[in-house]
């Protein structure tokens, strides 16, 4: 009988971002993930936004599924990222949890998901499904005067051409999995990623 050797699992703790501590007077704990965010008009702008949505922002994102929905390890993920970035800025993603022992497991799960994208890539089908759902959502938005005005105004202000109101969706359709892997390596690597551990003061 051949030896059934156990597959070696990657050491996710090799992925160690900078961590800072902060105290709050509230009975929750928050891991606030902070990463650099490229400005409008830069080559990485749309790729970063797409990866951000797939990883953190979208209600069906990778981490919403693994940490909130299936894992029941956190209450929610609250993104703080503005698409109208005239200059390079930072994006933050707050993972809000009950203040209790064992929350370090959340950091392990988040690190593993990021580590997997950096080292193994992201599934193209995941990208394609997200873009299809986004296209449907934007089609429904076209029945709203406010949504139409927002898109036309954004395109005119940032691209000086209101006809580019659908620029994000059209660009997303051209982005491949390999490009998002490169974006993840660039912006979510341990040298750029910082975690602020916000928790109640110890009595």
pLDDT exceeds cutoff 70 at 6: no
Instruction: Give residue 56's pLDDT.
Output: 93
Fold of 13-121+179-200: Cytochrome Bc1 Complex; Chain A, domain 1 (3.30.830)
- Taking only the tens place, the pLDDT of each residue in 46-58 is 999 999 999 999 8
Average pLDDT, the chain: 85
Choice between 104 and 20, residue whose per-residue pLDDT is larger:
104
pTM of the complete model: 0.82
Nearest to 46 by CA among 186, 143, 180, 197: 180
Q: How far is CA 183 from CA 47, 130, 198, 203, in A?
A: 7, 17, 27, 42
- Annotated domain spans of the chain: 13-121+179-200
Helix (H) or strand (E) holding 24: strand 18-24
Instruction: Among 15-19, 26-30, 122-126, 133-137, name the one with the lowest average pLDDT.
Output: 15-19
Write the pLDDT tens digit of every residue in 156-191: 887 788 888 788 889 999 999 999 999 999 999 888
Residue, of 98 and 5, whose pLDDT is higher: 98
């Amino acid at each position: 009988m051949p030896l059934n050797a156990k597959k070696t699992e990657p050491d996710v703790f090799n992925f160690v971002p900078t961590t800072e501590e902060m105290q709050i007077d509230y009975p929750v704990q928050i891991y606030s993930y902070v990463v650099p965010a490229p400005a409008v008009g830069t080559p990485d702008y749309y790729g970063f936004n797409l990866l951000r949505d797939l990883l953190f922002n979208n209600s069906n994102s990778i981490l919403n599924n693994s940490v909130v929905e299936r894992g029941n390890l956190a209450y929610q993920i609250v993104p703080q990222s503005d698409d109208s970035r005239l200059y390079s800025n930072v994006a933050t993603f707050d993972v809000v949890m009950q203040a209790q022992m064992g929350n370090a497991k959340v950091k392990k799960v988040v690190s593993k998901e990021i580590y997997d994208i950096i080292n193994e890539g992201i599934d193209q089908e995941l990208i394609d499904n997200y873009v299809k759902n986004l296209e449907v959502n934007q089609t429904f938005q076209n029945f709203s005067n406010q949504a139409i005005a927002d898109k036309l105004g954004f395109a005119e202000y940032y691209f000086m051409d209101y006809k580019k109101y659908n620029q994000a969706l059209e660009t997303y359709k051209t982005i491949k999995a390999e490009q998002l892997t490169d974006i993840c390596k660039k912006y979510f690597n341990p040298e750029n990623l910082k975690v602020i551990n916000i928790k109640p003061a110890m009595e």
